[in-house]
Structure 1
Amino acid sequence: MAQYLLSIYEPAGDGLPDPEFLDTVMRELGVIREELAATGSWVFGQGLHAPETATVLRPRDGEVLVTDGPFVEGKEYLGGFTIIDVPDLDAALEWGRRYALATTLPIEVRPFQG
């Protein structure tokens, strides 16, 4: 078995989608999570607050500079993630496809080292 990170990227700006759409997405994500758990593939997952809630720590000249806000600014940001434990990349990509269809958002699938 190998662990993979499924990263969910959300568009920046414009706030949350309408509540009806969001309810549908959250129900479908709940179904996917239950199926992952039933197969023993669920490790951990959670949504994240918006990037402006981030605090960035940067080493500089033997000190650490603390700043508010995201590390980088862009059109998309990491909105949440799920860690799964599956037999191979094909299985990880299949779960990633399910997340992409459920959320209508880009999903990045990356293996953990080791």
Structure 2
Amino acid sequence: MPQYFLTVPHDSADEPTMASMQEADPADFEAVIAAVDAFNTALKDAGSFVFAGGLYPPSTAKTVDASSGEPKVLDEPFVEAPSYVGGFWVIEASGEDEAVEWAARASAALQGRIEVRALQEAPPEA
């Protein structure tokens, strides 16, 4: 079954973290956590959940480049952008339409945008 990457974009100017999100209205924060938990449960019950995670903001990123032989480690993100991936799900779905349906449910739970991208499949063996 094809796998899809559902990403949660965040505004780079805000760099929200779990700690900073807890500064929001407690009732609103708890409602979002409950909605995401219900979404995760629905994914698992449907057999579509592969894994999910939240990411620290880009200001914590390291970029490693060993293409010249000697690894270079930079204390910065690979790219600076107005938005960044703050969290994600990898799901299995029968096709793009089903993945978009799951993304719509994730968007409703988080009250924000969700990007849907298919993971590339391995090339057929010769």
User: TM-score by structure 2 length?
Assistant: 0.81
Aligned match of 1:45? 52
Take 1:103 and 1:69, find their aligned partners in 2: how far apart are those partners? 27
Whether 1:87 aligns to 2:60 is: no
Aligned match of 1:8? 8
Q: C-alpha deviations, 1:55-109, integer Å up to 9, x for none?
A: 1112353322101121112221110110101111111000011111221222111
Moved over 3 A (4+): 14-17
Any idea what SS the aligned residue of 1:63 has?
coil
Give structure 1 stretches of 5+ with no counterpart: none
For the pair shown, which has the larger CA radius of gyration, 1 or 2? Answer: 2
Aligned length: 114
Give structure 2 stretches of 5+ with no counterpart: 122-126
Q: RMSD between aligned alpha carbons?
A: 1.6
Whether 1:29 aligns to 2:36 is: yes
